[in-house]
Structure formats: C-alpha cells, structure tokens
Structure 1
C-alpha cells in the first residue's frame, strides 16, 4: 500500500466516524451546516492520521483510536475557523474555498468554532468502558489546545506581527501554535493503543516535535513558492501581513536547510521502532515534500 493509499484510508475512516457521530438535527440547523462546512472541506487530516498510525505501530485497535482521531480534528478545525476571522488573520480562502465567516457570517463562524471545540472533547467521553484512558486523553488534548499550547502560540503570533523575532522565539511560537496539536496526536495514538511505556512516549514526542516544526517551515516556504490554487489560500499572504516566518528570518535557502534538518531528526527518532514505523517515516516524507 502506498503512502497515498494509507492517507486516503485514514482520511475516509475519520470522516466517516465524524459524519456518523456529529449531530445532524438541531433547533438551529445553520449551526450544524457551518460546523460541517468547516470540518468537511478537504483537509489533509494529518492529525487524525498520526493518531491512527501510532496506534497501529504499537499494535492497537483502530476502533479504539476513532474517538481521539475525530476529537483532534474537531479541535484543529475550530482553530482554523477562528484563525481566519477578521480579528485574527482575516483570510477569505481556506483550502481553496471561502472561509467559514465568508460562506456564512462572522457570528456563525465563531459559534461553529465554539461548537466544534466542545464536540471534540465530548467525543473523548463517549466510551465509558475505559475512564482512566479517556481522562488521560482529555488532559492531553486540553493542554495542547489551550493557553499552554495552540492558543498561546496563536496569541504570540498575533502580538508579534511586524516585529523581528529570534529563531528561538519563532520556534517556540510554532511549537505551541502548530506542534502542540501534532504532538497531542502522537500521544493520543499511543494512549489509544494502551501504551504506558515512558521511553516510547519520549521517542514519539521527539518525532512529533520535529514534524511539527517541519510542517510549519514547509507552510512558510509554500506561502512564497506555492500558488493560490494549489495551496488553497492566497499566495504570499504571510509576506503581505509581514508575519514572522522561517524564510523571512533565515532566507529561503536557510529555511530549506532547516526543513531538511527537521526531516532527519524525525526519521532518527523512529529508529528504535524498526520496520513498524515505516508509515510514520512516509508521513514525515509527505509533510516535507508536499505541494499544499
């Protein structure tokens, strides 16, 4: 099975799970429409895929990973809806389609994001047979999402637009804004498999740290070298907004060197797992060599 086949299989699996699990009726149907618009708009599903891949590498059961995969995608999708709002990045396009606040309106987008965030945590409570594991998953996702993870990364990003950053500040921002949820996906995958080995979590987090930063470096490169149709958002939007990026700080050549270094670090972290880690190796390759 090729990496594209594997990615497609897991994308379909989490989409089917979310479609079956989310509410389809409501006193306010437009809220569900906005939630589904934000959730099912062609995302790569990297975070759910990570959950599934780690679960399988550690000999878990896919059905035990479904809730975690769905939960992290709900939280990720909510963050994108809010990221695109006029008060945040003020973007009109997301994945080649009008952003949620453009397709609906600003209030509907805010509420859809709020509801997706809540839905993510609700999914982790649906299975009542393993309360200890579920509590650990809720803690992982909450910590990665909030003021010690993604949200503080977003806040730091917004407060430093137009300001010069050191490489250390830029990496700290992206370890929170992008890397925190990617690392949470790794932890959730391990927890869903029943893993309790501390060294396994340590090695997987090394991998998560590396691909988290690699994902952002690649995004920064694509903002300059990609085109609007392929990357699904306005090309050059980071430059227009004078946002701190790796190419801006390191130059394009330096940013590509950084991407290569992170790729090597990710592969190195997987060596203790041998052939079982091959799908995660291929996912790292996908992140580094993608065109969108």
Structure 2
C-alpha cells in the first residue's frame, strides 16, 4: 500500500510510530521530567490529529510534531502545576546526571537550540525557522549554550562528543508514549469538549446581548447642566392685595368667636 492509499488514521499511526519514541526522549532532555515528556508528545500528536489535513500536507510532518512537542514541553505554565514543583529523580549514571543538570541550567531557548543542533543535527537556518528566531540569534544561543555546558563539562567541548553523550542520556530512559488509537480518541474527545464549551459561550453571549438590547434606552437624553435654569414650568404667582369685599369678610370673621355653629354655617349677607 502506497502513501497515497493510506487512510488518515493509518498515516497518523505511521508518523507516530516513526517519531514518537525519539520525541519523548528529546522532551525529557528539555524538561528533565519523564511524565511531562510523555505528556508533551501526546499533546503534540493530539494537536496533529486535530489538524491532520494541514499536518499531512506539510513538507515535514515530523518537524511539525517536533516543534509542537518542544513548545509544549518548554511552556512556562508548567511551573505553576503542583506536581512539577517537586524535583524529579535524576539519572543514576553520574555522567548523565551532570549533563542533564548542565542542560537544565540553560535558558529554555538556549537548551532547545543546543538539542536541535548537537542532538538532532539540524542546521542553524533550520533551527531558526523552527524556533521562529533569526539566524544570528540562533547562532548566538548555540554559542552561549556550548560555552555554558563546556564550562561545567570540559570533556564535552567537541560537538561530536556532546552529540554522543546526548544520545546516550536519551537512550538510557525507558519512556513510552500513549498508543496512536488512544491519542486519536483523546484528541477527538477534547475537540467535542471544546465545541460544547464554545456553544455554551456563544449562547450565553447571545442571551446577554439580547437582554441588554431589550432594556437599553432607545434614544439619547442630554443631561441638564448643573446651575442652568430649567424652562417649561408654570410661572410662580404672588398673592396681591385684598379687595374691599375680602377685607370686610376677613374683619367680620375675626370679630366672631372662633367656636360655635356660626363658624360652620356662614351668613350669606
């Protein structure tokens, strides 16, 4: 069966079988944590399966998954996870412990550049493209990383010796990522969860928007500036002088006692 006759699942399984064993060891050299190394590879392949048409058409599908693995492994958010706050046991071999300790002391971009060049064997231009850096920045990272490792381990000054020791350190760890069917099913389940979450968010946002539009004012009312006169009120009237008839009635009312039936039944004369 040729490559063009493979189903998407078969092509994915072939890529996993070819790349996953190597990538999980690379992730271990980048992190020094076995569980995180397996998780990084599994998440990278889950993402590859979710975007399989894009990955399948890529010029280098293995490089695509490698970049996703390295980026997940070196994510700064892992430091906030509880299980990653505790140190993990280093390799039993003293030389391996010394090399891994020297690697983990490097800044993450330097560590990744050194691994890709002296471990994987990529050129500076390829590393710059994969890590989204300039060639000059990549060359500087490689030079500083080699100087830092050589300062701690002088016997690894030659790139060939460093490559050999990196390969031995990675091969000394028995790390097995999840099988392709498990990764595909997990990725599909995550996709469904994301779709449901997105649907709930869209529904909530739509309802909130509709409620806001329902109760929002439909026109603008300019506020009245402070200290300015308000117009449109009836004029304020002042009581004028009493007429002659009113004065006589007022005087007559004052001359009578305040109590009695005559106060309840006014006289008509």
With normalisation by structure 1, the TM-score equals: 0.30
Bigger-Rg structure (1/2): 2
